[in-house]
């Protein structure tokens, strides 16, 4: 039954629908908005009058994907068909090229006027994402295509093609602050995941060994997971402020009621749960026969641990770290509210000023970071050789 459902259909329904919708979007959805300044809502521009070459590129890209969707199954499954994955970024690049063209026509006319990316661009991005998942590809060709597309977009950015784009305008306004907060976000996330990993491993192992730890430790972590992150940050302010006032040494280390200290504590606690849970499951489900055989053949506990338990539990633990990392990238946004910095700073600033582009400027790198972390850790956990 399941296999029958997985057999490829004569026409790929997902890709065909995407291609149709994508082509239609060129005429039906506004791709860009033009606004005289930061606050005023802009006027909609459709792709077809805005930039004919961009519209042509977009249509060709979707047309290619549509043709692929209708190609014979044998062709779609052939290894060479993976080259069709090169079509995936074409509509997105076309939409960006359109943005560059529109923004160039405005460049120099008015320093406050701006072009905003409209729903059409975001929908194209989403469509390309789904198409990228639905189309067959090898991991290497996929990485190559993505890097090429990203390189092209960044080159355009560097050459000033997008200068009148509102996102770029906002970024220019921020200056070096963007890099600072980006690094800070990375640092907070990295430190929290590292601390969460240590905590999670420790708790997973003790939970496996003692029922008391299992009950108490996991109850605490599960409970904490239900506390909204903002509330947890808030709850930590008081005790940390008290500790900081009482112990000068802590104060010297920068421990305060607000700032990175409470953020790191809360983020580490959140990150610990998936890691602890996966560690515990992996240890609990370690085949007893394997351990018995290892011991019975004269392996010491160390040899058994390093040679058998760690390699067998590692994939599950890594999966936990992966979940924790993606989750922490997002959670770190909220940390900006208690003065810990990070990309959340822009999001909350933007919300306060109803400047959606500033919000986007904070959001897009967070999404990109989460996706990148997920992909990288996913690559690490790919099984080498064969596994059960």
Partner 1 sequence: MITFEGVSHRFGDTTALAGIDLTLADHELCILLGPSGSGKSTLLRLVNRLLEPTSGRVLVDGQDVRAYRPEALRRTIGYVIQNVGLFPHWKVRDNVATVPRLLGWDRARIRGRVEEVLDLVGLPDQTYGGRYPHELSGGEAQRVGVARALASDPPILLMDEPFSAVDPLGRHRIQGEFLEIQRRLKKTVVFVTHDVDEAVRLGDRIALLNGGRLVQYDRTEVLLESPSEAFVGDFLGQDRTLKRLSRVAASTLARSHAPSGGYGSGVALAEDLDLRMVLSHFLESGTDVVALKNRQDRITGWLHREDLEDWARIGELVR
Question: How buried is 139 (Cβ within 10 angstroms: 0-12 exposed, 13-18 middle, 19+ buried)?
Answer: exposed
**Could you say which of 48, 299, 337, 377 contacts partner 1 (CB under 8 A)?**
299
Residue 279 CB, shortest distance to partner 1, in Å, is: 17
Q: In what order do the strands lie in the sheet with 114-117?
A: 43-46, 30-35, 114-117
Look up residue 60 and give its two tokens. Answer: 């060709």
Instruction: State how far the Cα of 151 lies from the Cα of 163, in Å rounded to an integer.
Output: 17
Nearer to partner 1, 80 or 297 (CB): 297
Instruction: State how far the Cα of 221 lies from the Cα of 237, in Å rounded to an integer.
Output: 19
Would you count residue 306 as binding partner 1 (CB under 8 A)?
Answer: no
Would you count residue 298 as binding partner 1 (CB under 8 A)?
Answer: yes
Would you count residue 382 as binding partner 1 (CB under 8 A)?
Answer: no
Beta-bridge mates of residue 35: 114
Question: Which segment (8-16, 248-256, 307-315, 343-351) binds partner 1 by CB under 8 A?
Answer: 307-315
- Subset of 32-51 contacting partner 1 (CB under 8 A): none
Residue 303 CB, shortest distance to partner 1, in Å, is: 7
Look up residue 242 and give its two tokens. Answer: 């008290």
Report the run of H or E that residue 356 belongs to, with start and end: helix 356-380
Look up residue 324 and give its two tokens. Answer: 């924790």
> Do residues 18 and 127 touch, judged by C-beta distance below 8 A?
yes
Q: Name the residue among 95, 83, 71, 82 with its Cα closest to residue 22.
A: 95
Distance between start and end Cα atoms, the chain: 24
Instruction: State how far the Cα of 182 lies from the Cα of 373, in Å rounded to an integer.
Output: 15
Would you count residue 254 as binding partner 1 (CB under 8 A)?
Answer: no
State the binding string over 311-350 for partner 1 (x if CB under 8 A, else -): xx--------------------------------------
Residue 287 CB, shortest distance to partner 1, in Å, is: 7
Residue 305 CB, shortest distance to partner 1, in Å, is: 13
Question: Which segment (238-246, 299-307, 346-354, 369-377) binds partner 1 by CB under 8 A?
Answer: 299-307
Nearer to partner 1, 140 or 382 (CB): 382
Would you count residue 72 as binding partner 1 (CB under 8 A)?
Answer: no
Would you count residue 211 as binding partner 1 (CB under 8 A)?
Answer: no
Nearer to partner 1, 1 or 386 (CB): 386
Q: Name the residue among 12, 14, 32 with its Cα closest to residue 123.
A: 32
Residue 283 CB, shortest distance to partner 1, in Å, is: 15
Number of residues interacting with partner 1: please give it, by CB under 8 A.
Answer: 23
Nearer to partner 1, 132 or 315 (CB): 315
DSSP state of 31: E
- Subset of 266-295 contacting partner 1 (CB under 8 A): 287-295
Would you count residue 385 as binding partner 1 (CB under 8 A)?
Answer: yes
Would you count residue 378 as binding partner 1 (CB under 8 A)?
Answer: no
Nearer to partner 1, 232 or 312 (CB): 312
Would you count residue 300 as binding partner 1 (CB under 8 A)?
Answer: yes
Question: Which segment (17-25, 216-224, 301-309, 359-367) binds partner 1 by CB under 8 A?
Answer: 301-309
User: Residue 287, CB half-sphere, CA atoms under 13 Å: how many?
Assistant: 8
Measured between alpha carbons, how far is residue 345 from residues 56, 88, 158, 360 in Å?
39, 33, 25, 12
Report the run of H or E that residue 187 belongs to, with start and end: helix 177-209
> Do residues 87 and 141 touch, judged by C-beta distance below 8 A?
no
Contacts with partner 1, residue ranges (CB under 8 A): 287-300, 303, 307-308, 311-312, 385-388
């Amino acid at each position: 039954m399941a296999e029958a459902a997985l057999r490829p259909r004569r026409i790929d329904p997902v890709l065909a629908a995407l291609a149709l919708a994508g082509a239609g979007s060129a005429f039906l959805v506004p791709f860009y908005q033009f606004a005289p300044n930061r606050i005023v809502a802009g006027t909609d521009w459709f792709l077809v009058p805005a930039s004919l070459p961009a519209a042509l590129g977009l249509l060709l890209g979707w047309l290619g994907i549509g043709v692929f969707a209708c190609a014979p199954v044998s062709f779609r499954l052939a290894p060479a068909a993976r080259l069709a994955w090169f079509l995936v970024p074409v509509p997105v690049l076309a939409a960006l090229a359109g943005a560059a063209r529109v923004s160039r026509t405005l460049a120099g006319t008015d320093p406050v006027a701006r072009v905003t990316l409209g729903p059409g661009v975001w929908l194209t991005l989403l469509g390309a994402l789904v198409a990228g998942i639905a189309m067959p590809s090898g991991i290497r060709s996929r990485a190559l295509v993505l890097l090429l597309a990203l390189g092209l977009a960044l080159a355009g950015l560097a050459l000033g093609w997008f200068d009148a784009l509102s996102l770029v305008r906002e970024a220019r306004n921020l200056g070096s602050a963007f890099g600072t907060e980006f690094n800070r976000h990375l640092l907070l996330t990295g430190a929290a995941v590292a601390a969460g990993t240590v905590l999670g491993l420790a708790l997973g192992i003790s939970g496996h060994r003692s029922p008391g730890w299992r009950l108490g430790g996991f109850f605490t972590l599960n409970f904490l997971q239900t506390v909204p992150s903002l509330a947890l940050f808030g709850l930590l302010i008081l005790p940390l402020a008290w500790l900081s006032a009482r112990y000068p040494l802590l104060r010297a280390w920068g421990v305060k009621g607000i700032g990175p200290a409470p953020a790191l504590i809360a983020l580490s606690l959140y990150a610990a749960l998936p890691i602890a849970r996966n560690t515990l499951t992996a240890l609990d489900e370690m085949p007893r026969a394997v351990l018995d055989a290892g011991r019975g053949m004269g392996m010491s506990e160390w040899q058994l641990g390093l040679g058998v338990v760690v390699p067998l539990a590692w994939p599950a633990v890594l999966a936990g770290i992966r979940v924790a990392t993606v989750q922490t990238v997002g959670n770190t946004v909220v940390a900006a509210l208690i003065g810990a910095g990070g990309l959340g700073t822009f999001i909350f600033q933007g919300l306060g000023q109803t400047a959606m582009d500033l919000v986007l400027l904070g959001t897009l790198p967070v999404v990109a970071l989460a996706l990148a972390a997920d992909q990288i850790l996913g690559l690490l956990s790919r099984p080498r050789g064969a596994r059960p």
